[in-house]
Amino acid sequence: MDLSTHKINSLFDQLGLASDQTSIENFIEMHRPLAADILLADAPFWTSAQASFLREEILNDADWAEVVDQLNVSLHSDSLTILN
């Protein structure tokens, strides 16, 4: 069992997105706040592969679930949350 903890930059790498801190902050700033009734994986800016990955990780409480949840909170927030 892999007990490693993933970081937000690793999640962005996994999603095929720029993963430096500035790019992550810009992405979150550009796409937030998501409406409360929109699930993270249903946000319109994901590709189908990205949405599937996010959905599966949360539904299965899988390896990436904690950092996906952090991204979810940041994108639903009215203020920029700095993630590390």
* pLDDT tens for each residue of 72-83: 999 998 866 656
- CATH 3.10.50.40 fits domain 8-76: no
Tell me: cis bond preceding 44? Omega within 30 of 0 counts. no
Where are the domains positioned within the chain? 8-76
Q: DSSP assignment of 20-79, as one string?
A: SHHHHHHHHHHHPPPPTTS-GGG-TTS-HHHHHHHHHHHHTT-TTHHHHHHHHHHHH-SS
Q: Is the pTM higher than 0.75?
A: yes
Residues 53/14, Cβ–Cβ less than 8 Å = yes
Other Cβ atoms less than 10 A from the Cβ of 84: the count is: 8
Splitting the chain (84 residues) into consecutive groups of 10 residues, what average pLDDT does each group show? 73 96 95 94 97 93 90 86 59
